[in-house]
Amino acid sequence: MTLKTRFFSLVLTTGLAVTPLGLAAQDRAQTLADIRQELTLLYVELQRLGTELNTTGGAQVPLGTGSTLDRVNGLEAEIVNLTGKIEELENRIQSLVRDGTNRIGDLEFRLCELEADCDISSLGDTPTLGGGELPQVALPTAPVLPDDPGAGSIGGGGGELAVAEQADFDAAKAAFDGGDMATAGDLFARFAEAYPGGPLTADAQYMAGEALAQQGMVEAAARAYLGAYSAVPPGQYTTQALLKLGAALGQLGHVNEACVMFDELLTAFPTSPEVTQAQQARAALGCP
């Protein structure tokens, strides 16, 4: 096969590799792994072509070979770059799916504990977030929890804020600081609904619980504290939310559920400042 024939064969191969992407919605759901495999095959073919161009004798090389080699090298570099981006995206998606599925399962468990007629054993496995199978990849090393995950100033969770997100949070905080608990609770609740998954959402849910608790709305406060504890990403008041969730459940007469919350705090955050309060609360409720 001549060099020219190999080059046009490569062009056709490129077209065949790209065509399924345009028809994915009609023919089949092409996965990132499929795309990466096609790119790998194309990359190997480019390497072979580049080797042939580099080893061809000078007297036999057409005048345009240099520019062709440059184009091949450029295409090869672009494919390598694209492959890296696809792998990065795939890893991020897998991480989000796994973390989201685990969080949803945890939230379902806790909500079930709040309902008297809910049987925890009937919950079953949580469906994978987004459908399909949970990616089977090596799990990263578990992060080391800080001694006090609840420490820090409010709104210090980091991350990028949406437009007007900080302003909306500040308005709710101003109402809270001014003693208008009804307005503060409403604004914080609206904030959590408007910015799910935001860097300030967990703090907003915690503050909503504080505002509701000061109004004597214990059950609503418990749900807000649960939302603050289960939020992704976590906020600045993880252990406080868990402690106050347990206290609210105990106040509502759900002693067993309250004990579960206190036990989780002691197990998951054994060095946090709330440990002593959790131990005292357990003793007061007569937890086993």
Tokens standing for residue 133? 């199978």
Q: Do residue 88 and residue 174 come from a single domain?
A: no
Query: Is the predicted pLDDT of residue 127 greater than 90, yes or no?
Result: no
What does the pLDDT look like over 200-237, one tens digit per residue?
999 999 999 999 999 999 999 999 999 999 888 888 99
At residue 94, the pLDDT reads 72
Tokens 């089977």 belong to 136
Domain contains 82: yes
69, 91, 110 - which closes a domain:
110
Domain contains 199: yes
What value does the mean pLDDT take over residues 130-149?
A: 44
At residue 130, the pLDDT reads 52
The whole domain housing 182 covers 165-285
Which distant-in-sequence residues (6+ apart) come within 8 Å of 231 by Cβ? 201, 202, 205
249: CATH:
1.25.40.10
State the DSSP code for 152.
S
C-alpha 70: how far from chain center: 41
78 against 104, higher pLDDT = 78
Question: Of 15-24, 65-74, 91-100, 243-252, which one has max mean pLDDT?
Answer: 243-252
84, 110, 136 - which closes a domain:
110
At residue 286, the pLDDT reads 94
110, 135, 152 - which closes a domain:
110
Domain contains 130: no
In sign, the C-alpha dihedral spanning 101, 103, 105, 107 is negative
What value does the mean pLDDT take over residues 160-173?
A: 86
Q: Which helix (H) or strand (E) holds 97?
A: helix 65-114
At residue 89, the pLDDT reads 72
**Cα distance between residue 225 and residue 114, in whole Å:** 12
Whole-number mean pLDDT of the chain? 72
**Cα distance between residue 244 and residue 239, in whole Å:** 9
Domain contains 266: yes
At residue 156, the pLDDT reads 42
Domain contains 125: no
**Please, which pLDDT band fits residue 71 given cuts at 50, 70 and 90?**
confident
Tokens standing for residue 60? 């036999």
At how many degrees (to 10) do helices 218-230 and 238-251 cross?
150
